[in-house]
Each structure stands twice: as structure tokens, then as C-alpha cells.
Amino acid sequence: MGAVPAGRRRALGLTATRWRAVHLEGTAAALFDRPWPEPAVPTAWVLEVTEPAVVLGSTQPATVVAPGETAVRRRSGGGAVLVEPGGLVWVDVLVPAGDPLWEADVGRAFAWLGRAWAAALADVGVAGATVHAGPLVTTPWSPLVCFAGLGPGEVTVGGAKVVGLCQRRTRAGALFQSAALLDWAPARLLDRLDLTGDQRRRGTVELAGVARGVAVDPLALVAALLARLP
């Protein structure tokens, strides 16, 4: 895989599967700046951030972030996500072009990963995980905040979004970026965005129920997801 511009790197030992799993720790900027394996092979990266950062979607202007806040841009679409230690379980999955999981339709391509996340949540005791099979659902906040909307393959529990998904594609394959919330406190994200006090207060109220965290052992959830990858 070559040198990785992040902190520690180690294999995560999968049994009887075709996936390569790698664990990386570092800043959000370092974790996004990593090479794909050449040639592309089915790979799952388990990513842990060492400090908070706002991750912007590919088309969001940098001006949405408050002055002085750390921001990183991903190459996939969607709204802003706050990544911070202990706040979420972040796993990226690479599906090479031509793989049995490859799907030309971008929307349908998420379905298998959503099912894997839902099954993994059930495996660690979270009941009622549901994979969204419909079209994109937007809200007034979703252009700004990723977890305020709901896309194909994303996972809800009790109607609240728990797992967010996005993807980017190259000739080599499709990279699915996914995160399951362990904690949902929208004020912590909104405080890092360039909003008025009234917007922050309104957003804290309106976003409270659109997503939720799951009180699970993150290592157990990672193990369950890796075991569920087809």
C-alpha cells in the first residue's frame, strides 16, 4: 500500500473473507490523504481521528466554517460532518471496478453497504436498524449538515439517521465513505460553522431528532461490520 501520511497503521486480521482491513490513526487531513492500493483490491479502512475537525463535502464553500476552525474537504458530496475522537465509527470501503459488488447505478450501489451496517448494528444489540431504500430525502438543513438528510443505503434507527454514506468513483473503483454516530450533539458542529447565534439556536432544536448516536462498544461495532462485509 505504500507509505501512509497518518499515524499508526496495522492490519486488522479478517478471517475467511476476501477483504483487506487496515487501521489508521491521525488527523482528518492525513486520513483523507492516503493512497489506494495498486492494483485496487477490496479494502476496508478503519479510521480514527486524533483531533476534531469539520469535514466539508466536495462542493461546500470553505466559508461555511467559522474563522479559526479546522476544516478538511472530502472528494465526495454532501454536507458537513464533525469528526472527533469517540464521536463516530468511521470506515471507508473500496470496491474495485468489475468486483461482484460493483454497481453502475450510483444510488443502488450503496445498498449492500447499508445492509452490512444494519446487520452489524443488530449484532451489537441495536434493534430496529433500517436501510433507506428510497430516493434522497432533503431538509432545510441538509445542504449544510450531512446527517440532516437521508440518502439511499443510509441507516436509521427509530427514524433517526445513525449511519451516513457517500462515495466517489474513479476508473479503479468506488470508494464508499461511511460513519456511524456514537454521539449526536448538533450544537458541537453548529458552533464550528459560520452561523449567527439565532441560526445556531434554531439548528440545535431542529436537528436534535434527525440523527442519533448508538451506545455501543466501537471496537465491537467495527468487528461486526468487517464480519458482515460480503
| Domains of the chain, earliest start first | 9-228 (3.30.930.10)
Q: Tally the C-alpha atoms within 13 A of residue 150's C-alpha that lie toward its C-beta.
A: 20
Phi, psi angle pair for 128, to nearest 5°: 85, 15
Task: Compute the distance between CA of residue 164 and CA of residue 1 in angstroms, rounded to an integer.
Answer: 26
pLDDT in tens, 60-93: 999 999 999 989 999 898 999 999 999 999 999 9
Given a cut of 70, whether residue 54 has pLDDT beyond it is: yes
Stretch among 11-20, 104-113, 137-146, 192-201 having the lowest mean pLDDT: 11-20
Q: Which residues pair with 164 in a beta bridge?
A: 179
What's the CA angle centered on 176, arms 175 and 180, to 5 degrees? 150
Q: Which three cell numbers stand for residue 118?
A: 444494519
- State the pairing for strand pair 20-26/43-49: parallel
CA distances from 53 to 21, 97, 107, 116, 148 (A): 24, 31, 28, 27, 18
- State the pairing for strand pair 71-73/53-56: parallel
For the whole prediction, is pTM greater than 0.75? yes
Task: Compute the distance between CA of residue 128 and CA of residue 88 in angstroms, rounded to an integer.
Answer: 19
Residue 19's Cα: distance from chain center in Å?
19
Given a cut of 80, whether residue 199 has pLDDT beyond it is: yes
For the purposes of burial, counting CB atoms within 10 Å of the CB of 21, is it exposed (0-12), middle (13-18) or buried (19 or more)?
buried
Residue 16's pLDDT band (boundaries 50, 70, 90)?
Answer: very low
CA distances from 143 to 85, 156, 166 (A): 24, 19, 14
Q: Which three cell numbers stand for residue 19?
A: 477483504
What is the reported pLDDT for 12? 56
pLDDT in tens, 108-141: 999 999 999 999 999 999 999 999 999 999 999 9
